């Protein structure tokens, strides 16, 4: 029988199925520790409990295993319980996916019906943090990447860094702050251990990796960014400069071309705009291209298509093998779920998957924030560092902390 606390409206399927529908209301008001949420501008999904886990690597037949699990579940039940969770950056590492016991879908992005929660850091987050690599180390890594690019070894590589606080953030408060700050993003809170509840992946990504509904697919890659300014005139100047930047447009084109090439075999028609547009988040301007297609086979699952795209040059580089190798050599830490994908896929194969950026890994004794920047010919180590600082600002603000001071050792 479905938990009454999730029975917000009449069920979409048979009573007790565990799947319910809801008009635009605050699902987050029913939040419990261990729940999962994925909120997009179009739809929100709130899940509870674990029926079955799926922990298989993308390189080890994850798409096949996921489709088999969903098909088996569909045969046993007529509800729309999704498979949800996160897939790591490293395609050889097992995913953290599961079928929940209960799921509630609602239109529109998630929100609170009542007063918002207090900031996630209300009980105090330490200002002393461990940076990996250090700011100087990050600039050295970018410089070394530029040397490889100059030798013709690769066209782009994404170099990232992380900040680790020695205090656990409050997950529900962090989610509420992210939703209030940027309701147009893809906001998520999922169990990073696929149902074991020790670690939580929380964030609000601006980048849609793939949405599939019926025979229609959409991917919205972002690449090429610049920090925003509080001064309106300067902010507009930065946006205009980004839109005409040869360096940033080259970086963006590498990503769009890779997305189009990966989707083309699956589509009977594919529309790729000839030039990027601008999209804004509270902290950055991005170059954006919305790629839309019609599938040859409407039964192809959203997860299979998302895995065909992963990792895009927006989070890894180009060509992928060379970029991956350089990331392992230079970054000095394990990205884990950062720059992977997070989202859901249902028994019809429909679903949404976002690129796992602007995120934090919340563990019992620490909270880790992540950010990266694309390095191409013409990149400047100091500018790439500043870009990562701006990106880290999303999660710092949600934690109730001030912008990053660039003096981390």
**Assign residue 61 a region: left if phi > 0, alpha if psi is -120 to 50, beta otherwise?**
left
CA distances to 71, 73, 144, 280 from 287, rounded to whole Å, are: 38, 40, 25, 9
Report the Cα 355 to chain-centroid distance in Å. Answer: 3
> Can you name the residues that pair with 371 across neighbouring β-strands?
161
Give SS3 for 182. Answer: coil
Report the C-alpha gap between 39 and 29 in whole angstroms: 14
State whether the Cα torsion 294-299-303-307 is positive or negative: negative
Give SS3 for 339. Answer: coil
Report the C-alpha gap between 66 and 353 in whole angstroms: 14
Report the C-alpha gap between 84 and 301 in whole angstroms: 13
Report the C-alpha gap between 100 and 308 in whole angstroms: 25
Report the Cα 358 to chain-centroid distance in Å. Answer: 7
- At residue 186, what are phi and psi to the nearest 5 degrees? -105, 95
Marked catalytic residue, from 156, 170, 251, 387: 156
Report the C-alpha gap between 356 and 377 in whole angstroms: 25
Report the C-alpha gap between 405 and 229 in whole angstroms: 16
Look at residues 4, 6, 56, 51 and name the one whose alpha carbon lies nearest to residue 29: 6
Marked catalytic residue, from 67, 170, 207, 387: 207
Residue 153: active-site member: no
User: Which residues have C-beta within 8 Å of that of residue 181, sequence separation ≥ 6?
Assistant: 204, 282, 394, 397, 398
Cβ atoms < 10 Å from Cβ of 223: 28
Whether cis (ω within 30° of 0) applies to the bond prior to 133 is: yes
Residue 156: active-site member: yes
- Do 307 and 351 meet the contact criterion of CB atoms below 8 Å apart? no
Active-site amino acid positions? 156, 207
């Amino acid at each position: 029988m479905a938990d009454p606390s999730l029975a917000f409206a009449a069920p979409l399927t048979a009573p007790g199925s565990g799947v319910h529908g809801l008009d635009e209301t605050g699902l987050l008001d029913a939040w419990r520790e261990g729940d999962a949420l994925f909120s997009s501008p179009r739809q929100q999904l709130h899940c509870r409990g674990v029926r079955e886990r799926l922990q298989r690597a993308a390189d080890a037949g994850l798409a096949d295993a996921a489709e088999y699990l969903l098909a088996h579940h569909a045969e046993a039940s007529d509800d729309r319980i999704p498979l949800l969770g996160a897939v790591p950056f490293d395609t050889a590492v097992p995913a953290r996916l599961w079928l929940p016991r209960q799921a509630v879908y609602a239109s529109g992005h998630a929100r609170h019906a009542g007063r918002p929660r207090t900031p996630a850091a209300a009980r105090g987050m330490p200002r002393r943090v461990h940076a990996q690599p250090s700011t100087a180390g990050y600039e050295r890594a970018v410089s070394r990447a530029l040397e490889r690019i100059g030798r013709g070894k690769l066209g782009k590589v994404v170099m990232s860094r992380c900040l680790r606080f020695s205090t656990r953030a409050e997950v529900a408060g962090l989610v509420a702050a992210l939703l209030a700050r940027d309701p147009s993003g893809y906001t998520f809170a999922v169990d990073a251990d696929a149902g074991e509840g020790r670690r939580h992946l929380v964030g609000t990504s601006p980048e849609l990796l793939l949405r599939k509904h019926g025979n229609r697919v959409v991917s919205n890659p972002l690449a090429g960014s610049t920090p925003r300014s509080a001064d309106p005139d300067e902010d507009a100047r930065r946006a205009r400069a980004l839109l005409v930047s040869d360096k940033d447009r080259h970086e963006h084109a590498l990503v769009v071309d890779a997305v189009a090439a990966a989707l083309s075999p699956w589509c009977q028609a594919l529309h790729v705009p000839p030039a990027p547009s601008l999209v804004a988040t509270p902290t950055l301007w991005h170059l954006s291209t919305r790629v839309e297609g019609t599938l040859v086979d409407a039964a192809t699952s959203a997860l299979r298509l998302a895995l065909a795209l992963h990792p895009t040059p927006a989070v890894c580089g180009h060509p992928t093998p060379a970029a991956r190798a350089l990331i392992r050599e230079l970054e000095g830490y394990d990205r884990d779920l950062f720059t992977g994908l997070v989202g859901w896929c249902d028994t019809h194969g429909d679903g949404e998957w976002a690129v796992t950026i602007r995120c934090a890994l919340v563990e019992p004794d620490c909270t880790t924030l992540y950010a990266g920047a694309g390095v191409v010919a013409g990149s400047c180590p100091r500018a790439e560092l500043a870009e990562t600082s701006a990106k880290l600002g999303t999660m710092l603000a949600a934690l109730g902390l001030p912008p990053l001071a660039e003096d981390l050792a």
